[in-house]
Amino acid sequence: MDQELLKQCESVAKEWATSPVFDANTQNEVKAMLESEDKSALVDSFYQTLEFGTGGLRGIMGAGTNRMNIYTVGAATQGLANYLNKFYAGRDKISVVIGVDCRNNSDVFAQRVADIFAANGIYVYLFEDMRPTPEVSFAIRHLKCQSGVNITASHNPREYNGYKAYWEDGAQVLAPHDKGIIDEVNKVRYEDVKTGGDKKFITIIGEEVDKAYIDAVKTLSIDPAVIERQKDLNIVYTPLHGAGMMMIPRSIRAWGFENVNCVPEQMVKDGNFPTVVSPNPENAEALTLAVNLAKKINADIVMASDPDADRIAMACKDSKGEWNIINGNQTFMIFLYYIIKNRDAKGILSKNDFVVKTIVTTELVKRIADKYQIEMRDCYTGFKWIANEIRLEEGKMKYIGGGEESFGFLAEDFCRDKDSVSACSLLAEICAWAKDQGKTLYDVLMDIYLEYGFSFNKAVNVVRPGKSGADEIKQMMEDFRNNPPKELAGSKVKLIKDYKTLKATCSCGTVEDLKMPETSNVLQFFTEDGSKVSVRPSGTEPKIKFYMEVFDEINNVDEYSSLCEKAEAKCKLILKDLNV
């Protein structure tokens, strides 16, 4: 262990253990770390200050500068309050929305945040209980607030919590406000945080916003008649103990579906997520109880949302009657296929419509958009970038859908973050539309492949926790940059896109500029046979991500399984060539 680093950590920890700024429980937790022979917990808790990034905070809960606690959350809030009071100086009223999910300490953090805003003269609309992340985004716009905070760590493991900051458009903050807020947060000392705010500055909100949100989501239905014909569609839904239970069953029923079966064990608010290994719907294990219920009642569709109810996962029966998880790229494909195809059938599709995907998401969705001459835009990973495209075209073009491979989809523009409430409701309509034709959701997926070609996507996460892990991930990115692969799975790399330098380098030697709003630590390799490989460190978790997409021809549905096996083998070769 680096002894100099250990000394620095011990010095800061001793301040936490003795300063009257910190409560007794916090001091005792720090003292235990100081007294322990194993100093790894001490170093991980104090080797850095939990960084307030462009998306806010996210980290493991506990005492320390590198942990989520009332002090790091408080400093972030004081910095945000300072920025709001400067930017909106002279305004009669500055207001914010505060939302929470089901996680341990979320309510405690939310109360702290509300108190600090109030102490800074900022009006607060605090949700009475947990609500989906997209409803927080909606509420900011609905209540005409200037900012908002959602206390959530999304789909991270149970030991995490987080703090997502939003701007007045309902989207997560972007330039120039992100840098301005970060600068203010970095100036704040723990003793600078104002508390003891006047309660008159805090208003509790609930049903009025809920109804407005549900009513807005219902306007997204493209074909209410098909719902009426298939209103008994057999639906299984699970919120994985999270905020989705508050709105998703209600929304699906508001659309006209009458047979919504919720997984009872997981309709219980619990930040320990006792029925799953991880509350991430990207992992098939998280849907086990839902699929078991679906088998028992012979359901038509299984749908799930993550703890803060912004991501959607789904499962359906294949041609053999076996339940299959639909991955994030396929999810986006199905949504976009239905929206474009049926808007066209209803005569409401326009050349003024546009859709958005992230750079690591399947290229197959562009083929769908291209067929109907609908503009498809690429943006960075994260829904703040999709929201940015919506904002840029507001009043000029109509946004009809956007998504990313990590199970996020947004069908509307009245909310500016991915939305599993509208997605689950729309998914039910898609299943009704399929059933109306004697098809399943799996049949719809196969229809897409047969019409647009076969695509296989695989994502691999390499987890490296702690400081040593962060250093290793940084070195991996440097190595890929300095020594990029010349060949992947037997096919030559013909193009490299480096979003950190905003340069696209062709194997023929030409270099072109990438037109993006800012730089990002992402590398992409494109091969001669059409494969795409993207590499990026996670912005919220201690891991580096590898996204692979390979293509092939498909002539009939019976080839699907063998094509998946062939593509899986190819992805293994790609990873081997990358030394992963």
**Residues designated as active site:** 154
State how beta strands 375-379 and 353-358 pair. parallel
* Distance in angstroms (rounded) separating the CA atoms of residues 158 and 481: 34
Contact 334, 445 (CB under 8 A): yes
Collapsing DSSP to helix, strand or coil, 89 comes out as coil
Name the strand (E) or helix (H) holding 486: none
Burial class (CB in 10 A: 0-12, 13-18, 19+), 5: middle
**CA 470, 472, 475 angle in degrees (round to 5)?**
110
Give how far the C-alpha of residue 333 lies from the chain's centroid of Cα atoms, to the nearest Å: 17
* Distance in angstroms (rounded) separating the CA atoms of residues 441 and 526: 31
Helices 244-254 & 420-436 angle (0-180, nearest 10): 40
Alpha helices in 260-358 (DSSP H): 288-297, 328-345
Helix (DSSP H) and strand (DSSP E) numbers for the chain: 18, 23
Tokens encoding 58: 């996210």
Tokens encoding 53: 């990034």
The one-letter amino acid at 36? S
Alpha helices in 127-176 (DSSP H): 133-142
Tokens encoding 198: 């006047």
Bridge partners, residue 324, by sequence: 316
Q: How many CA atoms lie within 13 A of 362 on its CB side?
A: 28
* Distance in angstroms (rounded) separating the CA atoms of residues 130 and 99: 7
* Distance in angstroms (rounded) separating the CA atoms of residues 18 and 5: 20
Tokens 């006047």 -> residue: 198
Name the strand (E) or helix (H) holding 198: none
Tokens 């049926």 -> residue: 342
Tokens encoding 217: 């989501």
Contact 99, 71 (CB under 8 A): no
What's the N-to-C CA distance of the chain in angstroms?
Answer: 26
- In Å, what is the CA distance from 180 to each residue of 7, 343, 391? 32, 41, 20
Sign of the alpha-carbon dihedral angle for 41, 44, 49, 54? negative
Name the strand (E) or helix (H) holding 118: helix 106-119
